[in-house]
Structure 1
Amino acid sequence: MTALRGAPALVLAVLVGLTGCSSEDSSAPETTPAGALVLEENAPADVAGSSVVATTFEDSGATLRISEDGSPSTPTEVSVGHEIRVADEEYRVEAIWSEGDSGEPGGQGGRVMLVPLP
């Protein structure tokens, strides 16, 4: 009987872990600031002439793998509000969310929004 009482909490913990983001960061922002870039999970994107791939979505953070000038990528852990430099440009992480996972190859739903800083 005691094991059954803990089962709902375990199921909830697993479901929260599977979303890839916390509940407060799990939906897309209502607006997109001018100049913002939205990175899709595991899809290389050109940011300031460098390749950036958003990976490893956990809680309210993600890992950005940044490769400049064809060099091996450098992992950078980010969360909302974090500022990063890519090449000679600086960006703020505006939002991190998940649009779900289709279960298909390339169907991961993690997103990171970067806003260029002046």
Structure 2
Amino acid sequence: MGLAGCRGFDAASVILPLELLRNGADAPPISFGPIDLPGAGGSLRLRFRSDIASDGMRVIQVGDTVELPLTFGDDQTVPERIDLRCQQGELTMVRYRHDDAVHEFAVSRPTGK
């Protein structure tokens, strides 16, 4: 799976074992990071969890950790690429892509953050 960060067109190819968790709702989360994203105000960790709805419009960032679903869409597609969009020093959007399928998640933070 590819991961594109917040610095222009820079991209890093990484391998994350998301396929391992595809079949289990009780599977433990997979974390990746820290990822140095200056456009996001520093480093971030991505935590992929099987218990997060993949058809939602938002994901949550708590501190430096962004909680993400393992899959997206009605057919539970595992992303081939994840794009991160930043504005004004914060991560604002996560985009999952697989072939022509695309799903965007706005990034929310708990009140007071």
Taking structure 2 as the reference length, what is the TM-score of the superposition?
0.29
Taking structure 1 as the reference length, what is the TM-score of the superposition?
0.29
Larger strand share, 1 or 2? 2
